[in-house]
Structure 1
Amino acid sequence: MLPPCQPQGLHHLWAKSPPPGSSAGQSLAEHTWLVLARLADLIHLRPYLPQTLGVPRLWHILFWAAWLHDFGKAARGFQQVLRGKARRWNYRHEVLSLAFVDWASADLEADEQILLAAAVATHHKDWHELDDYRTPPDEDSDPLPAMLEELDPADIPLLYRWIETCAAAWRDALDLRPCGVEIPSLPELRQAQAGLQPKSIRRRLQAIQQTVLEWEEQAYRAGSREEMAPVFRPAIVLRGLMIQSDHLASAGSDSLPARIEAVPALLAELRRLSQGSFQLYAHQQAAAQTPGSALLIAPTGSGKTEAALLWAAHQQPPRLFYTLPFQASMNAMFDRLNALLPGRVGLLHGRSSLALMQRLMDQSYTPQEAARLARQLNDRAALGYYPLRVFSPYQMLKASFQLKGYETLLAEFSEAAFIFDEMHAYEPRRLGMIAATIQFLTQHYGARFFVMSATLPHMLRRQLRQRLNDPPVLRAEPQLCRRFQRHRLHLLEGGLLDEENLQRICRSVQAENLQALVVCNTVQRAQQVWERLRSSLPPGIPLFLLHSRFCMRDRLRHENAILQAAGLGSRRQPLVVVATQVVEVSLNLDLDVLYSDPAPLEALLQRFGRINRLGLRPPAALYVFTQDEKVFGYVYHPREQISRTLDLLKERTARVRPNGLLLDESALPGWLDEVYQDSLLARWEQDFEASLQEFEENFLAALKPFHSDQALAGQFNRLFDSLEVLPEALYDEYIQAQEEYRYPDADRLLVPLCWWQVQRLRQMGVVMEGDERLPPVVRLPYDEILGLQLPGSGMTPSPPDADQAEDFD
Structure 2
Amino acid sequence: MELAEIEQRLSDVWAKSPDPKGASSPVTLFRHSLDVTTQMAEFFRLYQPCWPISDDDVCVPRILAYAALTHDFGKVHPGFQAALRPNGPRFQNRHEILSLAFLACLDIPANERPWIESALALHHKDLIQLTGPNQPFYLGRLFGAEGTAARRLAEGLAPGYVQSQLQLLCELLNRAPQVFSSCGWEPFECYRVTRGFPTEIVGEIRGALERVKGLAERFEPVLDDFLRLLQPLPWPLRRAGVTVRGFMLNADHVASFCPYPLKKAIDNVQLLSRTLPSTVSGFKGLNSHQEAAGRLVGSGVLIAPTGTGKTEAALLWAARQAEDGLNGRAFILLPYQASMNAMQKRLVRMIAPEVLQQPEKWNAEIALVHGRSIRAVYERLLAEDDTRENAEKMAHIQNDLARLNIAPVRVGSPFQIIRLLFAPRAIEGLLTAFMQARLIFDEVHAYDPGVTALALASVRFLCDQLGSRVFFMTATLPSHLAGILGKLFTPMTIIRPDPDVMDRPARHRLRLMPPGVDVLSEPSITDIRKAADAGSVLVVVNQVGRARNLWRLLRSKIPDVHLLHSRFTHYDRARIETELDPRHGRVLIATQAVEVSLDLDYDTCFSELAPLESLLQRFGRCNRKGSRAEPAIVSVYRTFPEPSRVAHLPYRHDHLQRTLEVLESFLTKDPRGLIVETTVQELLDTSYPESLRRELENEIDSKIGAMNKEYIEPFVPFGKRDDSVNRFLEEEWQKLFDGEEVLPMDLIPCAAREPGWLGRTRYHVPISGRRFAQLLQAGRIRWNDELMCNVVNAPYTEEGLDV
Q: Same fold (TM over 0.5)?
A: yes
Of 773, 789, 792, the residue aligned with 2:802 is: 789
Q: What is the match of residue 799 of structure 1?
A: none
1:580 Cα shift? 1.2
Q: What is the match of residue 718 of structure 1?
A: 735
1:318 matches 2:328: yes
Secondary structure at 1:279 match in 2: coil
Q: What is the match of residue 359 of structure 2?
A: none
Q: What is the match of residue 806 of structure 1?
A: none
CA distance in 1, matches of 2:289, 2:464: 27
Counterparts of residues 518-667 of structure 1 (less than 5 Å): 518-535=539-556, 537-538=557-558, 541-563=559-581, 566=582, 572-585=583-596, 587-617=598-628, 618-627=630-639, 629-631=643-645, 635-657=649-671, 660-667=672-679
Q: What is the match of residue 671 of structure 1?
A: 683
CA distance in 2, matches of 1:748, 1:53: 53
CA distance in 2, matches of 1:23, 1:336: 35
Q: What is the match of residue 681 of structure 1?
A: 693
Counterparts of residues 194-273 of structure 1 (less than 5 Å): 194-216=198-220, 218=222, 223=229, 227-273=233-279
Pick closer, same or farther for the CA change 1:289–1:562 going to 2, 3 Å: closer
CA distance in 1, matches of 2:623, 2:30: 61
Pick closer, same or farther for the CA change 1:293–1:484 going to 2, 3 Å: farther
1:681 Cα shift? 1.1
Q: What is the match of residue 119 of structure 1?
A: 119
Secondary structure at 2:245 match in 1: helix
How much is the aligned-residue C-alpha RMSD, in angstroms? 2.4
* Contact 1:728/1:779 (<8 A) preserved: yes
* Structure 1 gaps, min length 5: 567-571, 791-809
1:729 matches 2:741: no
* Contact 1:218/1:228 (<8 A) preserved: no
* Structure 2 gaps, min length 5: 353-363
1:747 matches 2:765: no
Q: Provide Cα deviations, 1:614-648, integer angstroms capped at 9, x if missing partner.
A: 21112011110111544556623432111110000
Name the % identity. Answer: 34
Given residue 481 of structure 2, which amino acid in structure 1 is its aligned partner? L
Q: What is the match of residue 130 of structure 1?
A: 130
CA distance in 1, matches of 2:292, 2:580: 36
Pick closer, same or farther for the CA change 1:521–1:275 going to 2, 3 Å: closer
1:507 Cα shift? 4.2
Q: What is the match of residue 569 of structure 1?
A: none
* Contact 1:415/1:446 (<8 A) preserved: yes
Of 183, 186, 198, the residue aligned with 2:193 is: 186
Q: Provide Cα deviations, 1:662-682, integer angstroms capped at 9, x if missing partner.
A: 101232122111122521211
Q: Provide Cα deviations, 1:273-308, integer angstroms capped at 9, x if missing partner.
A: 348944011111111111111111111111111111
* Contact 1:17/1:26 (<8 A) preserved: yes
Pick closer, same or farther for the CA change 1:594–1:260 going to 2, 3 Å: closer
Counterparts of residues 79-94 of structure 1 (less than 5 Å): 79-94=81-96
Of 176, 180, 189, the residue aligned with 1:171 is: 180
Of 451, 464, 467, the residue aligned with 1:430 is: 451
Q: Provide Cα deviations, 1:462-512, integer angstroms capped at 9, x if missing partner.
A: 1112211132111111331232621000111224245333333244236x4
1:3 Cα shift? 8.4
* Contact 1:321/1:389 (<8 A) preserved: yes
CA distance in 2, matches of 1:212, 1:772: 47
Q: Provide Cα deviations, 1:353-389, integer angstroms capped at 9, x if missing partner.
A: 1111222222332222222222212211211101111
Pick closer, same or farther for the CA change 1:687–1:91 going to 2, 3 Å: same
* Contact 1:420/1:449 (<8 A) preserved: yes
* Contact 1:600/1:636 (<8 A) preserved: no
Secondary structure at 2:407 match in 1: coil
CA distance in 2, matches of 1:226, 1:530: 61
Secondary structure at 2:639 match in 1: coil
1:775 matches 2:789: yes
CA distance in 2, matches of 1:598, 1:145: 71
CA distance in 2, matches of 1:37, 1:457: 48
1:85 Cα shift? 4.5
Secondary structure at 2:462 match in 1: helix
Secondary structure at 2:503 match in 1: helix
CA distance in 1, matches of 2:415, 2:649: 21
* Contact 1:519/1:596 (<8 A) preserved: yes
Q: Provide Cα deviations, 1:241-268, integer angstroms capped at 9, x if missing partner.
A: 1011000000013212333341111112
CA distance in 2, matches of 1:712, 1:720: 14
Given residue 789 of structure 2, which amino acid in structure 1 is its aligned partner? P
1:146 Cα shift? 2.2
Of 318, 323, 340, the residue aligned with 2:350 is: 340
Q: Provide Cα deviations, 1:381-417, integer angstroms capped at 9, x if missing partner.
A: 2111011111111011111113334211111111111
Secondary structure at 2:713 match in 1: helix
1:779 Cα shift? 0.6
Given residue 208 of structure 1, which amino acid in structure 2 is its aligned partner? V
* Matched length: 764
Secondary structure at 2:222 match in 1: helix
Pick closer, same or farther for the CA change 1:373–1:54 going to 2, 3 Å: farther
CA distance in 1, matches of 2:97, 2:84: 18
CA distance in 2, matches of 1:714, 1:751: 24
Pick closer, same or farther for the CA change 1:634–1:62 going to 2, 3 Å: farther
1:750 Cα shift? 0.7
Given residue 795 of structure 2, which amino acid in structure 1 is its aligned partner? P
Secondary structure at 1:647 match in 2: helix
